[in-house]
């Protein structure tokens, strides 16, 4: 009973962080649209356009299709949003530890990402629309394809943290936030880390359904796919979830592979430094999102679902296995 109370107390304490995350996710989504438009020589929308879109949709009516399964159709957007928000409670932000840090944070983050995609697919299937069912099927196919290389990246990084004796639990993100894994391995290990980092970068479009992996919601093929029947508040929740998923992946990549902090660079510590380090962390997340989300979705065209699945199962999985082998050789030889 006490542990449950402590859990709810921690979640309540994390509410300001979640409010900040929602605001930053929408602002970063606005920056994403601006950069995307500038790269295509367009003016683009204002920075706060995602906020305006969400507020406008919040004032619209929720319409439930006649053939929809009402319970699953209505609950899917809420559960998807809550599941995505939970990810941020397990990621350390700068010098501050995660709100709900445990022994298996990275595994839980992978499952929460998968669950949010699965819940979106449930909403698509529950709508009763054939186009939404096609989009939901594509979402599940894509998810099954990129989960394997993503699992290899997470398990390999945890094994490296355990073998190198990094402080903290191996499957937690705190060891990687405290000690730069890039400095803890040799040249072969650095090559392996590069392979794993590139694998994670290539997983991002599939996880977010953007750029070459804009397949489940392809507007020109299946008219928004799995969210075609959603409107009003439910559609606003899905739009917010899409922005949060992009933000979550960028935050996860930053915490795992870009652990540079102001405190370590300056060799100082303290509460004031931790505050500046907190701000610096979100600046790093913005850079990561602009480079590995915005640029990729702008530069590449959409793949077909079988091409995307083959790409992840064959090429990205092979790259992640190569990184695992290189890191294993480096760590075992030490």
Alpha helices, DSSP H only, in 105-179?
Answer: 105-126, 130-164, 174-178
Q: Residues 278, 94: contact at Cβ < 8 Å? A: yes
- Cα 29 from Cα 200, distance rounded (Å): 20
pLDDT-derived band at 7 (thresholds 50, 70, 90) equals: low
Mean per-residue pLDDT for 124-151?
80
Q: Is the dihedral of CA 62, 65, 66, 70 positive or negative?
A: negative
Q: Average pLDDT, whole number, for the chain?
A: 79
Residue of higher predicted confidence among 114 and 271: 114
- Cα 217 from Cα 235, distance rounded (Å): 13
291 sits in which H/E element: none
Q: Is the pLDDT of residue 68 over 70?
A: yes
User: Across-strand partners of 96?
Assistant: 93
- Predicted TM-score of the model (pTM): 0.84
Residue of higher predicted confidence among 8 and 87: 87
For residue 67, give the DSSP letter. T
Q: How many residues does this entry show for the chain?
A: 334
Q: Is the pLDDT of residue 220 over 50?
A: no
Dump pLDDT digits (tens) for 232-254.
888 888 888 888 888 888 888 88
Q: Is the pLDDT of residue 160 over 70?
A: yes
pLDDT at residue number 299: 66
Identify the weakest region by mean pLDDT among 114-128, 173-187, 293-307: 293-307
Q: What is the largest CA-CA distance in the chain?
A: 64
Identify the weakest region by mean pLDDT among 14-23, 33-42, 222-231, 253-262: 222-231
Going from N- to C-terminal start, the domains of the chain cover: 2-332
Residue of higher predicted confidence among 302 and 180: 180
pLDDT at residue number 213: 60
């Amino acid at each position: 009973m006490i542990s449950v109370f402590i859990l709810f107390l921690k979640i309540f304490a994390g509410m300001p962080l979640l409010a900040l995350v929602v605001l930053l996710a929408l602002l970063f989504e606005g920056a994403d649209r601006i950069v995307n438009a500038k790269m295509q020589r367009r003016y683009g929308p204002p920075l706060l356009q995602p906020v305006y879109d969400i507020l406008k949709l919040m004032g619209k009516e929720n319409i439930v299709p006649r053939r929809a399964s009402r319970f699953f159709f209505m609950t899917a957007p809420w559960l998807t949003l809550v599941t995505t928000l939970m990810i941020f409670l397990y990621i350390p932000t700068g010098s501050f530890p995660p709100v709900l840090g445990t022994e298996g944070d990275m595994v839980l983050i992978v499952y929460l990402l998968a669950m949010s995609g699965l819940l979106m697919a449930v909403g698509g299937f529950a709508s009763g629309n054939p186009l939404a069912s096609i989009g939901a099927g594509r979402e599940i196919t894509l998810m099954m394809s990129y989960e394997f290389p993503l699992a290899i990246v997470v398990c390999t990084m945890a094994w490296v943290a355990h073998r190198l004796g990094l402080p903290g639990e191996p499957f937690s993100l705190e060891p990687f936030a405290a000690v730069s894994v890039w400095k803890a391995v040799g040249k072969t290990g650095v090559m392996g880390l590069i392979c794993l980092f590139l694998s994670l970068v290539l997983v991002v479009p599939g996880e977010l359904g953007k750029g070459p992996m804009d397949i489940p919601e392809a507007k020109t093929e299946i008219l928004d796919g799995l969210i075609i029947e959603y409107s009003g508040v439910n559609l606003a929740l899905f739009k917010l979830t899409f922005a949060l998923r992009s933000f979550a992946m960028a935050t996860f990549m930053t915490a795992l592979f870009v652990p540079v902090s102001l405190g370590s660079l300056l060799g100082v510590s303290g509460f004031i430094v931790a505050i500046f380090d907190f701000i610096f962390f979100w600046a790093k997340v913005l850079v990561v999102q602009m480079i590995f989300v915005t640029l990729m979705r702008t530069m590449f065209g959409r793949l077909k679902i079988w091409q995307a699945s083959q790409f992840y199962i064959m090429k990205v999985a092979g790259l992640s296995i190569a990184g695992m082998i290189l890191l294993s050789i480096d760590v075992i030889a030490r």
